[in-house]
Structure 1
Amino acid sequence: MSLTARRCARLFLLVCCLLLSVSASAVSAPQPVRIPVLNYHSITVDPGNRATITPVKFEEQMTHLAENGYTTLTLRQFTDIMEGRETAPEKPVLLTFDDGYADNYTEALPVLSRLGLNATLFVSPGVSAADPYFLTWDQIREMHEAGWDIQPHGMSHPHLPRLSAAKQEAELTEAKRLIEEQLGTTADVFCYPYGEYNRTTLRLLKKAGYRYAFTIKQGVTLPTQDPYRLTRIFVNGEESFETWRNRLEKAYQP
């Protein structure tokens, strides 16, 4: 074999070894954490309203989580996993409830307490104080004592981008202040009312000390996402249990 041929052969073997090494690394590399964040609203019977789910359907879904190896995360566990301080369980899921409807107390709280599941509630304190359709502070305190994480959803559930910077800031800071004052906890995870925000909102969230914010953009949540643009999975109350279950299972697939 000529010198040139021997050099070509050695080069070929070197390239093959490098390719095998890269392939082995790709196979052994851990898959990124995927956390389905389920987005619920009202637990009631309201035909035609996709944002509501009947108590019967809700209990069926929660029972499925409890009996099939899912871990419903506390907000602290969620943020620790996102920041790499805690290892994710096999099937993590974060339950979130928007708006603070009174039926979250009458319908969701008993089911979750019985099954030992965790949840996060995003509430607008100004709305809750003025409308009997929404939670009272006594109910919110009881939910907090039962293990629910309570976080801000704006003070009056406004369309934030339509407000001036000063009014946006008031919405963000006053809701945070009231929740922390009433519950003696830290309120630093936000949920955008109507899923709406602009660059001013993002700037003011950081200024106010918020660490994360959830949108209504659809998708599984990943640690690589912008912490102020986290995605969730909307729970359509009109879809079948099988459709909901299949969507949940697919959320763990890369």
Structure 2
Amino acid sequence: MLNYHSITYDPGNKAVITPELFTEQMNYLAENGYTTLTLKHFSDIWLGEAEMPKKPVLLTFDDGYADNHEYAMPLLKKLGFHATLFMSPGTTDDGYFLSWEQVKEMHEAGWDIQPHGMTHPYLTSLSKSDQAYEILEAKKQIEDQLGTTADIFCYPYGAYNAKTLAILKENGFRFAFTIEQGKTKTNQDPLKLKRIFVNGEEPTKTLIKNLEKNY
């Protein structure tokens, strides 16, 4: 599970990758036999209802930056790649983050759209009722806007506690992604799944090493 954020130019920011480096990495995956998964395919593999391809990878994009629409969407469409966007509906339409119109275009292009909290807060600093609002309102807005089921969560800043987990379980969330580093395995708690953070300051050869280490 690869964890991307913004695709633009911001030297010194590890969560930002340049369009050129992102393109290089996606081309590497395409040229070396990697299969990008939809969330349904991922879920089917998890449940034992589908075979795992030789080199599976789930491309995840956190936060919902507008540059994901500008740079990632057309490239992934060209390569025939699937991706998952974890967005915070409360940030839409400010220009820096995706608008609902852009999100709908990405959904129509085959992206899975799932919640990342309403306003991207540190959930652990909130009461259970405030956490519930952040999680469930984000879920509701995505489902209302797209007509889909939004039952897979990504923790803002990777922060969660027992209250967070209880809310997810009580409301039927099937999976949740952390920022803990490593390969996702079926023996992990489905609400505490690991990913590999893609450091935008590191070259593609570092990503290759991380991928090879986790297969």
Q: Same fold (TM over 0.5)?
A: yes
Contact 1:195 1:216 in 2 (8 A): yes
**2:182 matched to which residue of 1?**
219
- Distance in 2 (CA, whole Å) between partners of 1:246 and 1:205 is 34
Alignment of 1:13-24 (within 5 A): none
Query: Is residue 94 from structure 1 mapped to residue 58 from structure 2 by the alignment?
Result: yes
Query: Is residue 169 from structure 1 mapped to residue 129 from structure 2 by the alignment?
Result: no
**1:30 matched to which residue of 2?**
none
The structure 1 segments of at least 4 consecutive aligned residues displaced by more than 2 Å after TM superposition are none
- Distance in 2 (CA, whole Å) between partners of 1:146 and 1:110 is 9
* CA positional deviation for 1:206: 1.0
Name the aligned partner's letter for residue 184 of structure 2: T
* CA positional deviation for 1:243: 1.2
Which structure features the higher share of helix residues? 1
* CA positional deviation for 1:246: 1.4
Q: Secondary structure at the match of 2:3?
A: strand
Q: Which has the larger radius of gyration?
A: 1
**1:31 matched to which residue of 2?**
none
**1:61 matched to which residue of 2?**
25
- Distance in 2 (CA, whole Å) between partners of 1:80 and 1:52 is 31
- Distance in 2 (CA, whole Å) between partners of 1:247 and 1:213 is 22
Deviations along 1:1-46, one digit per CA (max 9) or x if unpaired, are xxxxxxxxxxxxxxxxxxxxxxxxxxxxxxxxxxxx0000000111
- Distance in 2 (CA, whole Å) between partners of 1:171 and 1:242 is 38
- Distance in 2 (CA, whole Å) between partners of 1:84 and 1:77 is 10
TM-score, length basis structure 1: 0.84
* Matching residue within 137, 147, 169 for 1:206: 169
- Distance in 2 (CA, whole Å) between partners of 1:161 and 1:238 is 29
TM-score, length basis structure 2: 0.99
Contact 1:172 1:208 in 2 (8 A): no
Name the aligned partner's letter for residue 170 of structure 2: K
* CA positional deviation for 1:209: 1.6
Name the aligned partner's letter for residue 109 of structure 1: M
Name the aligned partner's letter for residue 98 of structure 2: L
Q: Secondary structure at the match of 1:227?
A: coil
Name the aligned partner's letter for residue 237 of structure 1: G
Q: Secondary structure at the match of 1:104?
A: helix
Contact 1:122 1:150 in 2 (8 A): yes
Q: How many pairs align? A: 215
* CA positional deviation for 1:74: 0.4
Q: Percent identity?
A: 64
- Distance in 1 (CA, whole Å) between partners of 2:209 and 2:140 is 39
Query: Is residue 234 from structure 1 mapped to residue 207 from structure 2 by the alignment?
Result: no
* CA positional deviation for 1:233: 0.2
Q: Where does structure 2 lack aligned partners over 5 or more consecutive residues?
A: none
* CA positional deviation for 1:241: 1.3
Deviations along 1:96-155, one digit per CA (max 9) or x if unpaired, are 0000000000010011011110000000000124x2100000000000000000000001
**2:117 matched to which residue of 1?**
154
Deviations along 1:164-187, one digit per CA (max 9) or x if unpaired, are 111111111100000000000010
* CA positional deviation for 1:250: 1.3
Contact 1:72 1:119 in 2 (8 A): yes
The alignment's C-alpha RMSD in Å is 0.6
* Matching residue within 42, 57, 63 for 2:6: 42
